[in-house]
Structure 1
Amino acid sequence: MKALTVQQPWAWAIMHGGKTIENRTQNWNYRGPLAIHAGNRFSKRGADSDLVHNAWHSHGSYKYTPGDRDAFVYGAILGVVDLVDVHPEAGCCKPWGESSYVEHGGRERKQIVHLVLENPRPLAEPYPCSGALGLWTPPKFEVPA
């Protein structure tokens, strides 16, 4: 199994909010189970996303808003999804798929690759661990069925 570190609230949206596409700039050959690790960084762009807001409110059990950093878990594996496809952006995968974005406030537009995610299986309790860039091998933990 591999793992992917994702900033909050995007990691929450993958596990609980119906986010089926993760936008990246690197193409991977790996397909299979993928642990979703919530990194230690918070994405203001994610917190401002209408998609995240709609998912948050339709989830219904939260008294916080997606912009409240304290509403999220950081530095832990939240669950497992199946990575079923990776392909360059081609006007597909809406609404979560993006066509390009400027990374971390820079001016250079990066080519987007869509990671297609299915079957989210949240852990009963987040598994604290350090993350890494790119795909990485997580420590052993019990994978939900």
Structure 2
Amino acid sequence: MKALTVQQPWAWAIMHGGKTIENRTQNWKYRGPLAIHAGARWSDRGAVSEVVDDAWAKHGGGRVRWDRLGFPMGAIVGVVDLVDVHPESGCCTPWGESAYVEHGGRERRRIVHLVLENPRPLPAPYPCSGALGLWTPPQDIVDHLVTESAGIG
């Protein structure tokens, strides 16, 4: 099993809001179960995203001003299946992007879409440290994930 650290509220959108595409700049050969780790940093860009707002409203949250309260950070929040990775080509709307400006102002133009399916949220977030890029969680964390949610392993 591999893991990916994603800032909130994007991690929430993957697990609960129908976000099936994660935008990255690195192409990976890995396919299979992918633990979603909610990072320690909040995404202001995610908090003003219309697609995240729409997903929140459809989930029953109404139209609210986002804040960090209530969103787990620094923890694995669930597992999805990474089923495909392909270069951006104007596809995968509304979640797929062709470019974005990341934290710190750096513009990213060479985007790949990670196609995610079958989100399985954990009953409770599992606190742990994350990492940049695709990373391998320690075996004790993998064991916990398999125990907590059927079909994760």
TM band (smaller chain):
over 0.9
Alpha-carbon contact 1:9-1:66 (below 8 Å) kept: no
Letter in 1 for 2:23: N
Deviation at 1:64? Answer: 8.7
**1:17 Cα deviation after fit:** 0.2
The alignment partner of 2:69 has SS state of helix
> For the Cα contact (< 8 Å) 1:20–1:116, is it kept in 2?
yes
Instruction: Please list every run of 5 or more consecutive structure 1 residues that lacks an aligned counterpart in the other structure.
Output: none
Counterpart check, 1:119 vs 2:118: yes
Counterpart residue number, 1:142: 145
Deviations 1:26-51 (A, max 9, x none): 11010000000000000011000111
Task: Measure, in 1, the Cα distance between the counterparts of 2:125 and 2:94.
Answer: 27
**Deviation (angstroms), 1:102:** 2.3
Looking at structure 2, the residues matched to 105 and 128 of structure 1 have their Cα atoms a distance apart, in angstroms, of 26
CA contact (8 A) 2:22 2:95 kept: yes
Q: Secondary structure at the match of 1:104?
A: coil
| Uncovered stretches (5+) of structure 2, i.e. residues with no partner | none
Which residue is 2:89 aligned to? 90
Deviations 1:63-85 (A, max 9, x none): 89362111200000000000000
Query: 1:129 maps to which residue?
Result: 128
Once residues 106 and 74 of structure 1 are traced to their aligned partners in structure 2, the CA distance between those partners, rounded to angstroms, is 22
Structure 1 counterpart of 2:58: 58
User: Superposed, which structure 2 residues align to 1:1-145 within 5 Å?
Assistant: 1-60=1-60, 62=61, 65=64, 67-138=66-137, 139-140=141-142, 141-143=144-146, 144=149, 145=151
* 1-structure distance, mates of 2:18, 2:65: 15
Contact 1:86 1:113 in 2 (8 A): yes
Task: Supply the AA of the counterpart residue of 1:48.
Answer: V
Over 3 Å counting, the alpha-carbon distance change for 1:93 and 1:63 in structure 2 is: closer
1:8 to 1:108, Cα distance in 2 relative to 1, 3 A = closer
RMSD: 1.6
- What secondary structure is seen at the aligned counterpart in 1 of 2:145? coil
Shift of residue 104 of structure 1?
Answer: 2.3
Inter-partner Cα distance in structure 1 for 2:111 and 2:4: 16
